Amino acid sequence: MKNKHKLSLLKTHYSKLPNQLFELKLPYQAIALYCFFVTLPEDFDPSVRFIGSKLNMSLNTVRKYIKLLEDVQIIQKYQAGGFKTGYNKYTFVDPKKWRNK
């Protein structure tokens, strides 16, 4: 019974990553950013400032690695909301469609 409880905790408090993420030879900051994204609820679209505060990265560094994840087609970013209240939304791309930089 103890193992079932531990397995249940692992499934609810941890995330698995695609092996291909490491085959792309991305900088550790990009991997950290991806890991952060997969831990977020689906309906939560964080600001660059929020991401930077959680990962201890500057705003420019966050933007740089979001761009890198977009370039290798791991995530897609698009603008949502109106002109003044716009914000970025992020979606994941199927790992089969990822590409090397």
Residues 6+ apart with CB under 8 A from 89: 45, 77, 78, 79, 80
pLDDT in tens, the chain (101 residues): 567 766 666 666 677 888 889 889 999 999 999 999 988 888 888 889 999 999 999 999 999 999 999 999 999 988 776 666 667 888 889 888 888 76
C-alpha span between 47 and 85 (Å, rounded):
12
The pLDDT of residue 101 is 63
Instruction: Give the per-residue pLDDT at 78.
Output: 83
The pTM assigned to this predicted structure is 0.80
pLDDT for 11 equals: 62
Nearest to 98 by CA among 35, 21, 25, 17: 21
CATH code of domain 19-97: 1.10.10.10
